[in-house]
Amino acid sequence: MSTGLPLFFRQLLRGPQAISAVAPSSPALARAMAAPLVRGMKVAEFGPGTGALTAGILARIPAQDVTLFEMNVEFAAHLAATLPGVTVHNAPAQEIGRLGGHDFDAVVSGLPLLSMPERLREEIYAAAFDALKPGGFVVQFTYGPRAPMPTDLCERLGLVVATGPRIWLNLPPARVYIYSRRADGMRRYAN
């Protein structure tokens, strides 16, 4: 797949708030984000951008089991043109339910949660967990020093968080987190 770098920087200049990153994620971060995925899972990705994390997902999961939700029309067109077999929705992640998503095993999220209002974070995570089967989980990265979903929000949604690795080989370095329903515990992450 093409790196989409020129496209990334054009969209960054046009809408820095929606992108909220200085560069696409690195291959090291993509590998860490995809580490909890195993063949046979049905996986959704939120905010794939130019597909940096998607490459990590596709190294583990066949294209027909991967569905992308990208709000930016140019990124969505690029992904659809370069990733045969992958389902691409040019739609906000929080519409996953309306678009028929209801039996996913995992959601990989590259969404810039820290630059979103708390109400939107809640809406997106509620929609993600409605679309996940029992035992399903969300893998999320953030550049911030703490987990990107505040504790009270996790309590309202009935979620627990497990802290994954810090990935230094990324600009800027990022930390991986895994969210799951409290009832499912934190048993999934194995790196």
Ligand X SMILES: C[S@@+](CC[C@H](N)C(=O)[O-])C[C@H]1O[C@@H](n2cnc3c(N)ncnc32)[C@H](O)[C@@H]1O
**Based on CB atoms, which residue is closest to ligand X, 116 or 160?**
116
Q: Closest separation between CB of residue 139 and ligand X, Å?
A: 11
Please give the residues from 150 up to 189 whose contact with ligand X meets the rule CB under 6 A: none
Any alpha helices (H) in 105-171, and if so which ranges?
Answer: 118-131, 151-157
Site membership for ligand X, residue 32 (CB under 6 A)? no
Q: Closest separation between CB of residue 112 and ligand X, Å?
A: 5
CA dihedral of 63, 66, 71, 72, whole degrees rounded to 10? -20
- Pair 127, 113: CB distance under 8 Å: no
Whose CA is closest to 175, among 137, 140, 124, 138? 140
Backbone angles phi, psi at 141, to 5 degrees: -115, 160
**Based on CB atoms, which residue is closest to ligand X, 2 or 187?**
2
Query: CB under 6 A: which stretch of 55-63, 70-78, 125-133, 183-191 binds ligand X?
Result: 70-78
**Based on CB atoms, which residue is closest to ligand X, 75 or 177?**
75
**Based on CB atoms, which residue is closest to ligand X, 79 or 159?**
79
Return the percent helix, strand and coil in the chain, to nearest 5. 40, 25, 40
Q: How many residues bind ligand X (CB under 6 A)?
A: 22
Alpha-carbon distance of 77 to 59, in angstroms, equals: 21
Rg of the chain over all Cα atoms, to the nearest angstrom? 15
Out of 35, 56, 65, 70, name the contact with ligand X by CB under 6 A: 70
Out of 34, 35, 44, 71, name the contact with ligand X by CB under 6 A: 71
Out of 18, 147, 153, 161, name the contact with ligand X by CB under 6 A: 18
Alpha-carbon distance of 3 to 126, in angstroms, equals: 31
Out of 44, 66, 75, 122, name the contact with ligand X by CB under 6 A: 75
CA 67 to chain centre: 11
Q: Applying CB under 6 A, which residues contact ligand X? A: 18-21, 24-25, 46-49, 52-53, 69-72, 75, 92-93, 110-112
